[in-house]
């Protein structure tokens, strides 16, 4: 087999195998929340798949999925004044009615739906005029925080096209390496490092599978030059959703 064939086989071996099940459960959770907050049963409207699955950088064995449920603007007054926990509680109750035998619980920022093979963390949030989202934080008496997931998703998509579809593939291969060796790196950190590596060079703008051995070599060399302070900054930024992933390093 050629180098190209080897890397095509590698990526094929790590691709998500249960996408139909994941999509089904995303849809059922969305429908439950739409029934609760909008009196509709759509399985697709008003929800946003985020995290590595939403960025299309996840691989086989993914167990942690993320979703934003977009709340109706008219519900803001019902939850705005210190009622962050009530919002999560009501979302939990709606999902629990759909999955009565599944563990569903409120965490600090999200509702966790714990299936046997993976779990979904659902964040109910209000969409703002600038495209960002205001989400509840129940810690220290409750507050509202801002996240910008759509900008992150859009930038990953655009960068992947700029780099000849190499970004998402590199993210997936790096995840497989991380899982194999138990490296303590989260998904957003991996994607941020892969993004910044490919943005730092034009060498792979037009290259593809035949050059992936070189691309992986150069990526690990890039990682070797990320100093401790910078790594800590990146780890702290893992919960951020910046306008561009490169903003994590600023």
3-state secondary structure 4-37: HHHHHHHHHHCCCCCHHHHHHHHHHHHHHHHHHH
The per-residue pLDDT for 245 is 42
CA 11 and chain centroid, separation:
20
The domain containing residue 160 runs over which residues?
151-249
Helix-, strand-, coil-residue percentages of the chain, each rounded to 5: 55, 15, 30
Instruction: Tell me whether residue 5 is in a domain.
Output: no
Q: Are residues 109 and 184 in the same domain?
A: no
Instruction: Tell me whether residue 127 is in a domain.
Output: yes
In the chain (250 residues long), the average pLDDT of successive 10-residue segments reads 95 97 97 97 96 96 96 97 96 97 97 97 97 96 94 95 98 96 91 95 97 97 74 45 36
Q: Are residues 245 and 178 in the same domain?
A: yes
The per-residue pLDDT for 1 is 81
Task: Determine the Cα–Cα distance for residues 136 and 168; give it in Å rounded to an integer.
Answer: 30
**Residues linked to residue 65 through DSSP beta bridges, in sequence order:** 120
**What's phi and psi for 122, nearest 5 deg?**
-105, 125
Domain finish residue from 147, 162, 192: 147
Q: Are residues 49 and 93 in the same domain?
A: yes
Q: Are residues 102 and 179 in the same domain?
A: no
Domain finish residue from 147, 171, 206: 147
Tally of domains in the chain: 2
Q: Are residues 224 and 103 in the same domain?
A: no
The per-residue pLDDT for 225 is 84
Q: Is 165 left (phi over 0), alpha (psi -120 to 50) or beta?
A: left
The torsion of the CA quartet 174, 175, 179, 183, rounded to 10 degrees, works out to 60
The per-residue pLDDT for 243 is 34
Task: Determine the Cα–Cα distance for residues 64 and 61; give it in Å rounded to an integer.
Answer: 9
Q: Are residues 231 and 167 in the same domain?
A: yes
Nearest Cα to 176, choosing from 37, 61, 33? 61
Q: Are residues 122 and 169 in the same domain?
A: no
Contact between 170 and 219 under an 8 Å Cβ cutoff? The reply is: yes
Q: Are residues 201 and 138 in the same domain?
A: no
The per-residue pLDDT for 230 is 55
């Amino acid at each position: 087999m050629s180098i190209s064939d080897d890397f095509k086989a590698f990526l094929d071996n790590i691709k998500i195998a249960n996408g139909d099940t994941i999509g089904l459960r995303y849809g059922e959770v969305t429908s439950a929340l739409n029934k609760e907050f909008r009196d509709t049963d759509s399985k697709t409207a008003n929800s946003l798949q985020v995290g590595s699955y939403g960025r299309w950088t996840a691989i086989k064995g993914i167990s942690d999925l993320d979703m934003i449920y977009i709340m109706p603007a008219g519900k803001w007054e019902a939850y705005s004044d210190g009622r962050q926990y009530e919002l999560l509680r009501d979302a939990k109750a709606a999902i629990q009615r759909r999955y009565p035998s599944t563990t569903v619980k409120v965490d600090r920022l999200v509702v966790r739906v714990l299936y046997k093979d993976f779990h979904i963390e659902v964040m109910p949030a209000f969409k703002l005029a600038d495209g960002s989202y205001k989400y509840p934080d129940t810690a220290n008496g409750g507050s509202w925080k801002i996240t910008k997931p759509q900008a992150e998703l859009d930038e990953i998509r655009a960068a992947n096209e700029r780099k000849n579809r190499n970004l998402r593939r590199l993210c997936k291969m790096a995840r497989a390496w991380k899982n194999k060796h138990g490296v303590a790196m989260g998904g957003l950190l991996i994607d941020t490092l892969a993004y910044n590596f490919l943005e730092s060079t034009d060498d792979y703008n037009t290259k593809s599978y035949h050059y992936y051995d070189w691309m992986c070599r150069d990526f690990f060399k890039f990682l070797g030059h990320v100093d401790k302070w910078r790594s800590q900054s990146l780890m702290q930024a893992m919960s951020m959703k910046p306008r561009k992933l490169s903003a994590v390093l600023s």
